[in-house]
Amino acid sequence: MHFHSHKENMTQVIAVANQKGGVGKTTVAVNLARALQLMGQRVLIVDSDPQGSARDWYQASQNQGYDMPVVVGVDRPVLETSIQKLRGAFDTILIDGAAKLQDMTISAIKAADFVLIPVQPSALDIWAAEDLVELIKARQSITNGKPLAAFLVSRQIVGTRLANDANSALEALNLPILAARTTQRVAYAECMSTGSTVLDLESNGLATSEIKAILQELQTLISTLLEG
Ligand SMILES: Nc1ncnc2c1ncn2[C@@H]1O[C@H](COP(=O)(O)OP(=O)(O)O)[C@@H](O)[C@H]1O
Ligand SMILES: [Mg+2]
């Protein structure tokens, strides 16, 4: 796989956002960060959620002696300016989104080149992201379409198809939907509590394949943005 399509010295900033808790933001953020790090990228995770799950994960990883991407926490909505200053020092900066649709989320949207929105595959959960989508579209309309955004179906039950109402809810919000998704798997839950990632727990496992597929699709979308 070839992920270095973005120009050298160019930092990509990816926010994983959805004000709903439990949709898999932190899980997806740390696993994508680790996948990028294993490919040789310099990766920073910015934990913008007061709950600090990504910070907890990083601390657990330190206790285990892992060398995971560094997590720094922010407690003020100043992401746009601070991340602007970090551009160049990292290849990828992943923002782990907050559980509220307030200043911190707006700040993350302004800082990001791309907003990835994990949603659990139910119509109710998808409609709950409508306000976030509106914020992103408002931002896009004043900044030449930046940030790009897409939905990521998260925690799908293995072997099920997306319910029709979920599909039509996703389509109604009129953002791209990644074909790659995460399904409900023990490995994801396990890695969060052990400061690890699915790539470390089972490098040839199905969860690892999901993360790699998501990353590949994401990078294709982002490179069209950064080069376009
Ligand atoms: N694909 C998945 N399969 C199984 N468990 C998952 C999956 N994604 C997340 N989880 C678990 O669900 C809970 C919430 O996930 P988390 O990433 O913390 O969500 P958020 O950051 O959106 O609140 C955590 O306990 C996590 O381990
Ligand atoms: Mg979280």
Is residue 225 one of the residues assigned to a domain? Answer: no
- Supply 104's token pair: 């911190």
Is residue 177 one of the residues assigned to a domain? Answer: yes
Q: Nearest residue CA, atom 14 of ligand 1?
A: 22
The CATH number given to whatever domain includes residue 125 is 3.40.50.300
Is residue 102 one of the residues assigned to a domain? Answer: yes
Is residue 126 one of the residues assigned to a domain? Answer: yes
Could you tell me the CA-to-CA distances from 123 to 126, 154, 167, 191, 201 in Å, in that order?
5, 13, 8, 28, 32
Is residue 1 one of the residues assigned to a domain? Answer: no
Would you place residue 226 in the very low, low, confident or very high pLDDT band (cuts 50, 70, 90)?
low
The string of pLDDT tens digits covering residues 11-51 is: 999 999 999 999 999 999 999 999 999 999 999 999 999 99
Q: Would you say the CB of residue 157 lies under 6 angstroms from ligand 1? A: no
Determine the distance separating the centroid of ligand 1 and the alpha carbon of 189, expressed in angstroms: 6
CA–CA dist 19, 85 (Å, integer): 26
The string of pLDDT tens digits covering residues 112-126 is: 999 999 999 999 999
Domain count, the chain: 1
Sheet containing 92-96, strands listed edge to edge, beginning at the edge strand earlier in sequence:
70-73, 43-47, 92-96, 12-16, 114-119, 148-153
Is residue 226 one of the residues assigned to a domain? Answer: no
Determine the distance separating the centroid of ligand 1 and the alpha carbon of 30, expressed in angstroms: 11
**Which numbered ligand comes closest to the C-alpha of 25?**
1
Q: Nearest residue CA, atom 24 of ligand 1?
A: 189
- Supply 82's token pair: 């601070």
Q: In terms of residue numbers, what domain contains 26?
A: 12-220
Q: Would you say the CB of residue 136 lies under 6 angstroms from ligand 1? A: no
Q: Would you say the CB of residue 192 lies under 6 angstroms from ligand 1? A: yes
CA–CA dist 68, 72 (Å, integer): 12
CA–CA dist 27, 1 (Å, integer): 22
Determine the distance separating the centroid of ligand 2 and the alpha carbon of 29, expressed in angstroms: 9
The string of pLDDT tens digits covering residues 59-84 is: 999 999 999 999 999 999 999 999 99
CA–CA dist 114, 221 (Å, integer): 9
Q: Is the pLDDT of residue 219 over 60?
A: yes
Beta bridge partners of residue 13, listed in sequence order: 93
